[in-house]
Amino acid sequence: MTSVLLDRPNAIKSDDIVCDELGSPNARTWRGTRDELGGDFEAIQYQQQQKRIQLEIVGSNVVIAGADRVGLIVLPSGRRIVLRTKISGLKLIEWLIYLGEFPDFQSWSPIGNVVQSDSWQKVLARLFLYELQRVTKYHLRKNYVATAIDSSTVKGRVDWGKAAAKPWALPRLPQRVRQRSFDMPSNQMLAAALKRVMLFQHELNQEDRSLFSRLRHEWADIANPNMDRHRIIQASLTAPPDGYRMALQLARLILIGASIDSENGAGGESFTLSLSRIWEVALKQMCHELSPITGWKLAKGNDDIRPWDDALSIDDTYRCMRADTLLERSSDRWVLDAKYKRDFANEGRNDRFQMCAYALGFRAARATLVYPFRGPQPGAYRQLLRAELGEWDILIDSVALPMAEGPDECKEQLLGLLSDG
């Protein structure tokens, strides 16, 4: 990894609502009144409904706490909710690299441009700005795109409907032509991502803010795309121009990979990352990569979904059990359930019963709760229940893996668990 690892605090504004993610030790919450939140109160309620934050209201008093998402929420007034994580920004980026959502760090400049204590959104913003600077200097190009023009000379396909609606404009005719322009999908995608960096420009240092301002000026003439961002991302990444690939990967993460949402300003804008989702997907991917060594393979098709007898269909949410990870080896089955919260060694009653139901429903001899923890933790294994049902032995247990140490360390410890299973 080529980044410089220093220690520097993140920028916090005086009116920021700062909360720590769920499960952080001595988690910080925000306490105040509805009057202090003013017109942002409804937006905060909306963010709670989307499960990005936790909200407790007692009379006029309000408590805002983090959930399993980290990042920023910019409220309609411009005030921010800062959701801090117990895992460093660089380690979160490592997990995104592992899941294929981020370009490999080995591609970045050896001088380094991020620090260990940076929030993950700041890491992402700075890397995007530096990569966009490289594209602007060495790779920026035009391409042939369909463009609307009005001309007295026929150069392309005439839109006779529009011409008939504006007879006074004759002899100039509205036409669609193909001509070289910077307004090609790849450039439009990068310009849209650059605009989004505005959400957390306050976290950047003066040098980076100057770079941001310069790039905004240089890219100001790129037209905003009329198509939705999913379509333009697909169009841009299908055949990226030479030199654009990494910048486009970063732009994709900024635009949709990090769940940026907007509801006409009513709920503000969120730039947040779901850690529970990362943990769930990563657990399945690690098991898949280790299967040639351990012999445990992921269940195929819909085998990881078990409807209850009164379920209307396999899509009946309330009457189906869905295992995060269901492993099979010969006739044996093993359910692993990813739990992104700080409950290892204090496993909840509901989680214990859930694993018993999984063992019974999937006819699995073993059901394991898999938690992350921050650093090295010896003896991160607990047997919760061993039972016999006739000739069928069932084991319910829990394990903690060092998510904060990155994917490689987690895979190594998971390999030990699966090899012993």
Is 284 within the bounds of a domain? no
Is residue 46 situated within a structural domain? yes
Residue 289 lies in a domain: no
- Residue 281 within a domain: no
Q: Are residues 240 and 364 in the same domain?
A: no
- Which domain-ending residue is among 275, 306, 337? 275
Is beta strand 61-66 parallel, antiparallel or unpaired with respect to 53-58? Answer: antiparallel
Sequence-ordered list of residues with C-beta below 8 angstroms from that of 152, at least 6 positions apart, any chain: 171, 172, 173
Residue 5 within any structural domain of the chain: no
Mark whether 411 and 334 lie in a shared domain: yes
In a shared domain, residues 147 and 194: no
Identify whether residues 127 and 203 lie together within a single domain.
yes
pLDDT of residue 293: 95
Residue at which a domain ends, from 161, 181, 201? 181
Q: Quick one: 161 and 189 in the same domain?
A: no
Return the top range by mean pLDDT from 51-60, 71-80, 311-320: 51-60
Same domain, 134 and 32: yes
DSSP annotation of 95: H
Average of per-residue pLDDT values in the chain: 82
In a domain, 280, yes or no: no
257 and 226 in a common domain:
yes
Question: In terms of DSSP H, where are the helices of 135-274?
Answer: 160-165, 185-196, 206-218, 229-238, 245-252
- For 229-278, how does the pLDDT look when each residue is reduced to its tens digit (9 = 90+)? 667 777 777 778 888 888 888 888 787 654 434 443 445 677 788 889 89
Q: Is residue 9 part of a domain?
A: no
Q: Within this chain, do residues 177 and 217 fall inside the same structural domain, yes or no? A: no
- Among 37, 17, 18, 32, CA closest to 63: 32
pLDDT of residue 119: 74
Judge if 240 and 129 occupy the same domain: yes
Query: Which of the listed ranges 37-46, 98-107, 241-250, 374-383 does the model predict with the highest average pLDDT?
Result: 37-46
Checking if the pLDDT of 147 tops 80, the result is: no
d(CA 222, CA 410): 43
Separation CA 75–CA 73 (nearest Å):
6
Q: Residue 218 is encoded by which pair of tokens? A: 């240089």
Helix (H) or strand (E) holding 45: helix 41-49
Q: What is the mean pLDDT of residues 123-130?
A: 86
- Give the integer Cα–Cα distance in Å for 198 and 188: 16
Q: Would you give the distance in Å from CA 81 to the centre of its chain?
A: 17
Specify the pLDDT at position 355: 95
Helix (H/G/I), strand (E/B), else coil: 4? coil
Structurally, how many domains does the chain consist of?
Answer: 3
Nearest to 255 by CA among 234, 285, 238: 234
> What value, to the nearest 5°, has the Cα angle with vertex 3 and ends 108 and 134?
30
Tens digit of pLDDT for each residue in 86-119?
A: 887 778 888 888 887 766 544 444 344 444 556 7
Distance CA 316, CA 302 (A): 14
For residue 232, the model assigns a pLDDT of 74
CATH of the domain at 412: 3.40.1350
Q: Which domain holds residue 198?
A: 17-140+185-275
Q: Which residues contact 308 (CB under 8 A, 6 or more apart)?
A: 319, 320, 321
Give 367: exposed, middle or buried? Use CB within 10 Å, 0-12, 13-18, 19+: buried
Of 399, 421, 401, 420, the C-alpha closest to 411 is 401
Residue 11 forms part of a structural domain = no
- Whole-model pTM? 0.73
Residue 333 has pLDDT above 90, yes or no: yes
In this predicted structure, the answer to whether residue 189 has a pLDDT above a threshold of 60 is yes
Indicate if 171 and 219 belong to the same structural domain. Answer: no
- Are residues 239 and 341 both part of a single domain? no
Of 121, 154, 181, the domain-final residue = 181
pLDDT for 154: 75
373 and 263 assigned to the same domain: no
CA distance 327 to 304: 9
Residue 10 pLDDT class (50, 70, 90 cuts): very low
Check whether 325 has a pLDDT greater than 90.
yes
